Structures are given as C-alpha cells and as structure tokens.
Amino acid sequence: MASLRKHITMQYWLLKSEPDVFGIHDLAKKPKQVAVWDGVRNYQARNMLRDLFKKNDLAFFYHSSCEQPGIVGVVKIVKAGYPDPTQIKNDKLPWYAVDVKLVKKFPRVITLIELRAQRSLENMVVLRKGNRLSVMPVTASEWQVVHHLIGEN
C-alpha cells in the first residue's frame, strides 16, 4: 500500500539551467552530487517549488541558452521547497529553493530538435512556444517517451 501511494503521488519535473552558469557536469562534481537549486525568480516557478515539489520527485536536467539545448540527465529532489538562501533577507522572503541529487547523466544530449520531432511530446510544456519557465511539470508518459529515446526505461 505504501509503495502504491508513493507511486500515485510521484511527480516529474523539468529544471532548466544554463550550462555556462551551472550545468550537469557541475552537479556531478558536487559533494555527494547534491546541489541547492536556487535563484528562481519567477512567481509561477516559485509556486511549484514551494507547493508541489516533494522529496523523491524526479526531474529532467535541461541545458538552455547553449550550443545544444536539451535534456542531459535526471536528478532527484532530496529536499523539498524551503526559503531560498540566496535571496536578500527581509521580512518577506518570497523565494524558494530545493535540493537536487544527480541520478544519472544521459549518454548524450536529447536535443530540443529531437524532442520537437516526437508527436507524443507535442504538449510537453518545455516545447510550448514562448515558454520561459525554468521549472515546469512533466507527465509520466512524457517521462517514458524521453527515456525510450535513449533506449532506457
């Protein structure tokens, strides 16, 4: 029963980062391969971090604003939403962070071009025109499709 409940409440996410600032290789070098996912300064993204992210949720690590934008690996949420330590301290503290741990680096980048070519991913949030969120949900089927693209399950 416990495992069934866990399965039902499991959420998948996509976290965007510029590799020049913080890429998956930087995460791999961290102690225990854990890093604070901080610096999110968008209210919609903040609300997801604060209200919806749960410990043990899984997320794709996405590289943006670089030569090969795309999904580069998987991380696990090891600490759910808490006040972002990088924000300026005042009485409000509106921003939130989570801690992520590297689960795996994919053997290659699953590029944006490749993702766009999949009919089964046509509703994926990251592919929507004008999307600028750095935190966004991924459905279970989208999660599976992406893994199939690299021959993993």
Partner DNA sequence: GCCAACGTTGGC
**Chain residues in the site for DNA (CB under 7 A):** 16, 18, 41-44, 64-66, 69, 112-113, 116, 129-134
* C-alpha–C-alpha distance, residues 139 and 29, integer Å: 29
The distance of closest approach from Cβ of residue 137 to DNA in the complex, given in angstroms and rounded to an integer, is 15
Closest by CA to 143, choosing from 129, 130, 124, 128, is 124
The distance of closest approach from Cβ of residue 82 to DNA in the complex, given in angstroms and rounded to an integer, is 20
The distance of closest approach from Cβ of residue 92 to DNA in the complex, given in angstroms and rounded to an integer, is 12
C-beta of 47 vs 56, nearer to DNA: 47
C-beta of 35 vs 115, nearer to DNA: 115
* C-alpha–C-alpha distance, residues 52 and 10, integer Å: 10
Token code pair at residue 140:
């279970």
CB count in 10 Å sphere of residue 58:
16
C-beta of 9 vs 131, nearer to DNA: 131
